[in-house]
Amino acid sequence: MDSASPSSVAHLGASIHSSDGSSRVPKISRKVHACTECQARKIKCDVNPPQRSICTRCSKKRVRCVVNKSLQSLLGEDTEWKTTMEENSQTLSLAVSKILSVLELPSLESFAAQLQHNQLQHSQPQAQQAVTRSIEAPDRSRPFRTSGMAMTRENSQEPTQSRADTLVTDPMGALYEVTKLRNLRSNNLHGHAYAARPTILEDDFISKGKVSEADAEELFRTFSTSLNHYLWGGIGLVHDNLTSVRRSSTLLLAAIFTVTALHVPGKEQVFDICYAEFTALVCDSMFDRYHTLDGIRALCIGAFWLSDVSWKLAGHAVRIATELNLHQSYSRAMRGSREHFEGARLWYFIYVCDHHFSIAYGRPPVIHEDATITNHEKFLNLPGITQADYRLHSQVSVFIILTRVYNTFGPDIEQVVAEGDLILLRQFNHALDSWRLHWESRLTPNPFIATYPAKGVVLHYHFARLQVSSLSLRGIQKDGMHDLTIDRRDLANTAIACATSILQTVLDEPGIRNSVVGVPIYLHTMIAYSAVFLLKVQQKWKAYNLSADATLIRDLVMRIIRLLLDARAGERHLSSHIATGLSKMLDRFTSWEAGEKSRNLLVDSGRISQDDPNNPAAQMWEPNYAISDTGILRMFDSSVPFYDEHYFPLGFFDVMSAGQTDTEYRHRE
């Protein structure tokens, strides 16, 4: 009997399922009992599979013994295979539906629409397919989110680390205990706050070709050997190679590349790509239920260097950190839990990030000074502490002082500090003196950034004293209605000396001068604020005969401008934009000085009165460097790209804009 042809098998196979849905097999009585060799010679064959797979004749002749299957056996196997596949398909469908339900993803039926969409694309012209894919195709590297609110319950009671006699610690915890609704549950994975979900390397933006492998390696190497050490020596990055970062967090990868490309000349196109990727991932993380420590590190890294989103990223990092209960890590680490050590360290990292920008923006900090913060130096007694921790905690210590200043004097920049409260400013300055003595000697040189750690303490010391001492001038008007007492004048002169010291330190100290491109944007806050403060003091409070030296101020600002212009960085780095703004301000300051000289000559000659409101020389120039309500970048022209006006406000510590309206201090051209 010849082997069954495919067409006959297909024809008979189609008849297996009748119109009423029942399964039947055609009745075929003949079965194959002989191999092809015996069939051809019409002799008896003793083959009997599977017991005897080769007949006697084929064995003697040493030929291949082949038994062709009958149609009946073929149809029987086909029916069995189809039945098995249908059962497996149903089982798989049920399992996938259960998984999608647990993960709060769309139902399985919703993916049928995507399949139809893909089939439709195959019928489109190639060019049209490319456009459609670029616009509509979902990014597999980002989670697909359902628009409905998930109200799924836990499958079973999760293991708990709490004792049976432990009370519920928060109201939401009680609500979860009652309802078991998954969306009420803390996002700790299996009771472990720091469990990371590995990412798929094939789905990140390197694998997709958005950033080349060569650029990726260069950017990571630059960050790990330079920028990372300005964030206190490695707390922002705990991975030692690029692959480890890619496996851990795409958000961290995007943050590192974005920040590094901002600093490297010629990487503007890479920066644009990475910045778009980073901000998209941050948006995705806003409603993500599961987070990792590396995700928080990514947000902080972005906040420390990306001025246009710094405040938003810092706040987002704090929120996620509290969801992971990092604010409780300190107490657990102090009780000997090594798994909470990194969480406690990161909580202090976030505290500094939060206060960098809350103090600068004149906004209340999110993280308050509880026992975890006020007792932060006890953390330094734990095993595993490094120089990175000492550097970080020196920052924690100084921001504790500055936060107390904020809480003592309030955010109203027009409120004059009472004479009796000036002694409090002196006390805060004494606290800063003690802070410098305590920390400067404890910080050793870093192999990547030389003496910057200890020199950075000096810089922060001068800037903190500038902020505190300048409050003595808060609310003081230039019309002479307020007479400066000896104490107030002394504090004002201290502020001038601190601002001068900041600029001189940046210019003359190699450890700081070489770090202008690389340090977080808080250093640029110091530079810009100090320069603006000195220029404004000379103009606004010249009548009080403070210790400001106009010649020295002009020289320092000119040298700072040259330093920033000579800095090698990307086009969007703040250094060149600050230099542009300071150049315009210095030109206006020079014009104002010329106007003052002309006015004095006219007064001396008796041609005009000292208080003549129509004095043309007095109206020659009115400065425009208000830096509180709308930010110091208000002094830049509108053509400056990328950075908006919200970076350098220093609202609380700005003593130069009180009492002026939005239309005051405009340059008349």
pLDDT in tens, 308-358: 899 999 999 999 999 999 999 999 999 999 989 999 999 999 999 999 988
pLDDT in tens, 446-503: 999 999 999 999 999 999 999 999 999 988 876 555 578 999 999 999 999 999 999 9
Mean pLDDT of 200-219: 87
Place of tokens 């950017």: 219
Place of tokens 């936060």: 403
pLDDT in tens, 47-66: 877 777 788 888 888 888 88
Mean per-residue pLDDT of the chain: 78
For the CA atoms of 631, 636, 640, 643, the dihedral, rounded to the nearest 10 degrees, stands at -20
The predicted structure's pLDDT at residue 629: 35
Backbone angles phi and psi of 192, in degrees to 5 = -115, 115
Using only C-alpha atoms, the chain has a radius of gyration, in whole angstroms, of 37
For the CA atoms of 354, 355, 360, 365, the dihedral, rounded to the nearest 10 degrees, stands at 80
Q: Give Cα separations from 36 to 33, 44, 50, 53 (angstroms).
A: 10, 11, 17, 13
Tell me whether residue 477 is exposed, middle or buried, using C-beta atoms within 10 angstroms of its C-beta: 0 to 12, 13 to 18, 19 or more.
middle
Q: What ranges do the domains of the chain cover?
A: 6-98, 186-349
Q: Categorize the per-residue pLDDT at 41 as very low, low, confident or very high, splitting at 50, 70 and 90.
A: confident
CA distance 233 to 541: 42
Q: Is the peptide bond before 50 cis (omega within 30 degrees of 0)?
A: yes
The residue that leads in pLDDT, 191 or 59, is 59
Statement: residue 581 has pLDDT above 80? yes
Share of the chain above pLDDT 90, in %: 46
Nearest to 417 by CA among 364, 362, 355, 487: 487
Burial letters 151-174, b for 16+ CB under 10 A, else e: eeeeeeeeeeeeeeeeeeeeeeee
Mean pLDDT of 632-636: 29
Question: Degrees (nearest 5) of the Cα angle 404, 410, 411?
Answer: 120
CA distance 343 to 317: 13
CA distance 448 to 224: 10
The predicted structure's pLDDT at residue 557: 96
The whole model's pTM is what? Answer: 0.70
Contact 528/578 with Cβ under 8 angstroms? yes
pLDDT in tens, 150-178: 445 544 444 444 444 445 455 655 555 55
